[in-house]
Amino acid sequence: MAEIKGTSGNGQKPSTQLLTTNQGRPVGDNQNSVTAGRRGPITLDDFQLFEKMAQFNRERIPERVVHAKGSGAHGHFLVTQDITKYTSAKLFSKIGNKCETFTRFSTVGGEKGSADTVRDPRGFATKFYTEEGNWDLVGNNTPVFFIRDPLKFGDFIHTQKREPGNNLKSATMMWDFWSLSPESLHQVTILFSGRGIPDGHRHMNGYGSHTFSLINAAGELFYVKWHLKTNQGIKNLLVEAAEVLAGSDPDYSQRDLTHAIEKGEFPSWSVKIQVMPEAEIDKFKYDPFDLTKVWPHGEYPLIDVGVLTLDRMPDNYFAETEQAAFNPSNVLPGMGYSPDKMLQGRLLSYPDAHRYRIGTNYDLLPINARKNAGANYHRDGSMRFDGNYGSAPNYEPNSFGGPAQDAKYTERPYTTSKTVEKIGRYNHREGNDDYTQPGDLWRLLPEDEKNRTAKAIAGSLGQTPLRIQKLQLSHFKKADPDFAYRIVKALQTDEHPEYLHGPDAAELTAAGRLPEK
Ligand code: NDP
C-alpha cells in the first residue's frame, strides 16, 4: 500500500501540531458536532462545523473550459546554442544560461476527471521564470490547429464537449463542424493518425504552434515557430490499448509522469526553432501566420536552442498544477507576437479566462508570480494577499521616485505584409489551400498507420448522418483520393459507391494508386 507523501519540498508545512480554526482558535473536539442532547439536533453555535462545511463547499474553482484534465511538473531550461543573432532576450544571451520552469500537459475536451488516454490533442504549456519576467510557451502536441480565426473558437470547442440536449459526446457535432470548415482537415488528419493518442505525456513533441517573433539587439525581426522534440522518442497508444486504459487507469498519463520523475527518470525535450526573416513573409507559398499550416522542414530547417528537463513533481496539485495560469502574451523583451489571428484571440482570452477562473490577482499566486523584481501601479482587487505595495504612490507619473518606463523596452513595430490593406473582415477561406498539407501528411504515413488512421476516422465519421459523411469525404479526397478511398473501405458501407466503383476509383486506378481491395 502506498504511503501518502508528507509535507516536504516547497510545500507550506503546518506551523503547529495543534489543530486550530481558520482564525487560530485551538480546537478541542474535531469528531463530534455540538448537539442538543445525545441524539441531536445540531445547534447554530457550532461555528466549527459551519466553517468546515463552508470551506469544503468552496474547494473547487471553475475547471478550465478546455484543457481541464492536466499534469504539471517543475523543471529547468538550459540554453545550449547561441541564438543571439535572432533575439536580445537575456535568457538567450549566452550558452549555459538556465532558468526554472513549470510545464503543464493536458487533454483538451474532457472534464477534470476524464480519462487521459483519449483521442484528443494534448496541451503542452511551459512557464519559463526568467530575470526579465515570465515567458509562457502555451502550445499543443501538434504544430497546427483546427481553425484559423478565433471568432470560431467557442463554436469549435462546443463540438468537442457535450450535446446540449442529452449531455453526450457527439461525433455528429464534430464532423458537422469539420465538414463545414475545411481548414480543419490538417489537424483532423493528425488527430486520427497514430499521434492522436500519445502514450503518456513524456513521449510526445510540443509545438508553440503559432508564429511568434524574435527581435535581435539591432532591432531585426525574425518570425519563428517553436518545436519541443521529445528525447524519450515518440510513442503512441493503439486505440484498443487506450480504451482499456481509459477504464482501468484513467489517470495513466499523470501516473506515468509522476512515477518517471520520482524514479529519477527525468523527461526532457530538445527545444528548436524554425526561423523566417521578416523580408520573406510575402515570398512563402502560404500565409506564414496561418495556424492551420506548418512551415516545411525542408524550407525552414529546425535550429537547436536548448533543452527543457522536468525533474520535480508539484508538492501540491491544486496550488501548483490547478492554479497554474499560462498566457501566450507573456513574452520577454527580444520576443514578440505575429499577425496570427488565433494568437491574437488567445492574447486577449487567456488572461480573461484566468481572471474568471482564479481571480483578478492570479498573477500573484506563487506558481504564476514572476521571480524577478518588478513593480507597477495595479492595486487592490479581490484576494490581494501581498502587501499591495503599501503606501507607495498608486499613480504614474509621480514625483516620489516610483517605477517608471524605459523606452528601450518599447515593442518593435511590425508589418502584416508589405502591402497595406484596409481594416475589415476578410474571408479567410478565399484563395486558401486547405488540402495540400493534410495530403502531404497522409502521404508520409507508413502503410499500417494509413490503415489505422482510416479505420479511426471511419469509426467516428460512421456515426454521423450521410450528408455529413459525403461532405467530409469530399475533403479527404481533395487531400488525397487514396485517403478518402481507405476511409470508405473502412466504413464498410455501400453508401459511397462513387469511391469504390465509380469515377473516384477510376481516377485512383489511372494514377496507379488504387490499394488492394
Ligand atoms: P517534412 O518531411 O519536412 O516533415 C515531416 C514531419 O512530419 C516530421 O518532421 C515530423 O514532425 C512529422 N511526422 C512524421 N511522422 C509523422 C506522423 N506519423 N504523424 C504526424 N506527423 C509526423 O515535411 P513537411 O515539413 O512538409 O511536413 C509534412 C507534414 O508533416 C505536414 O503537413 C504536417 O502535417 C506534418 N508535420 C510537419 C511538421 C513541420 O514542422 N514541418 C511538424 C509536425 C508534423 P516532427 O519532427 O515535428 O515530429
Q: Say if CB 362 and CB 237 are below 8 A apart.
A: no
Ligand 1 in reach of 479 Cβ (< 6 A): no
Closest CA to 415 of 314, 280, 236: 280
Output the CA–CA distances (angstroms, integers) from residue 63 to 49, 113, 124, 143, in the order listed: 27, 10, 17, 25
Ligand 1 in reach of 194 Cβ (< 6 A): yes
* DSSP-assigned letters across all residues of 126-188: EEEEETTEEEEEEEESSSS-S-S-GGGHHHHHHHHSB-TTT--B-HHHHHHHHHT-GGGHHHH
The half-sphere exposure of 207 on its side-chain side, counting CA atoms within 13 A, is 20
Whole-prediction pTM value?
0.93
Closest CA to 107 of 16, 177, 198, 18: 198
Dist. CA 187 → ligand 1 center (Å): 12
Dist. CA 145 → ligand 1 center (Å): 14
Dist. CA 441 → ligand 1 center (Å): 7
Dist. CA 203 → ligand 1 center (Å): 16
302-348: pLDDT as tens digits: 999 999 999 999 999 999 999 999 999 999 999 999 999 999 999 99
Ligand 1 in reach of 143 Cβ (< 6 A): yes
Ligand 1 in reach of 445 Cβ (< 6 A): yes
Quick one: cell of 77?
A: 531550461
Residues 406-438 as b/e (b if ≥16 CB within 10 A, e otherwise) read: eeeeeeeeeeeeeeeeeeeeeebeeebebbebb
Phi/psi zone of residue 309: left (φ > 0), alpha (ψ -120 to 50 degrees), beta? beta
Taking only the tens of pLDDT, the chain with its 517 residues reads: 577 765 545 556 777 889 999 999 999 999 999 999 999 889 999 999 999 999 999 999 999 999 999 999 999 999 999 999 999 999 999 999 999 999 999 999 999 999 999 999 999 999 999 999 999 999 999 999 999 999 999 999 999 999 999 999 999 999 999 999 999 999 999 999 999 999 999 999 999 999 999 999 999 999 999 999 999 999 999 999 999 999 999 999 999 999 999 999 999 999 999 999 999 999 999 999 999 999 999 999 999 999 999 999 999 999 999 999 999 999 999 999 999 999 999 999 999 999 999 999 999 999 999 999 989 999 999 999 899 999 999 999 999 999 999 999 998 888 877 777 777 888 898 889 999 999 999 999 999 999 999 999 999 999 999 999 999 999 999 999 999 999 999 999 999 998 887 666 766 666 666 554 4
What positions carry a catalytic annotation? 67, 140
Residue from 294, 437, 447, 449 to probe ligand 1 pocket by mutation (most atoms less than 8 Å from CB):
294
Nearest atom, ligand 1, residue 293 CA:
32
CA distance 412 to 73: 33
Nearest atom, ligand 1, residue 189 CA:
34
Closest CA to 340 of 436, 471, 421, 225: 225
Q: Say if CB 124 and CB 103 are below 8 A apart.
A: yes
Nearest alpha carbon, ligand 1 atom 48? 205
Ligand 1 in reach of 46 Cβ (< 6 A): no
Q: Say if CB 477 and CB 508 are below 8 A apart.
A: no
β-strand partners of 133: 130
β-strand partners of 304: 272
Nearest alpha carbon, ligand 1 atom 42? 143
Q: Say if CB 442 and CB 480 are below 8 A apart.
A: yes
Dist. CA 336 → ligand 1 center (Å): 25
153-164: pLDDT as tens digits: 999 999 999 999
Dist. CA 103 → ligand 1 center (Å): 23
Ligand 1 in reach of 288 Cβ (< 6 A): no
Ligand 1 in reach of 441 Cβ (< 6 A): yes
Ligand 1 in reach of 433 Cβ (< 6 A): no
Quick one: cell of 34?
A: 455540538
- With residue 221 as reference, give the H or E element that holds it: strand 221-230
pLDDT at residue 488, as a whole number = 96
Ligand 1 in reach of 459 Cβ (< 6 A): no
Dist. CA 443 → ligand 1 center (Å): 11
Nearest alpha carbon, ligand 1 atom 25? 296
Residue from 203, 304, 441 to probe ligand 1 pocket by mutation (most atoms less than 8 Å from CB):
441
Q: Mutual orientation of helices 153-160 and 341-357 as an angle, nearest 10°?
A: 60
Closest CA to 367 of 126, 29, 188, 27: 126
Nearest atom, ligand 1, residue 195 CA:
19
Ligand 1 in reach of 211 Cβ (< 6 A): no
Ligand 1 in reach of 298 Cβ (< 6 A): yes
3-class SS at 448?
Answer: helix
For the chain, how long is the longest CA-to-CA vector? 91
Nearest alpha carbon, ligand 1 atom 41? 296
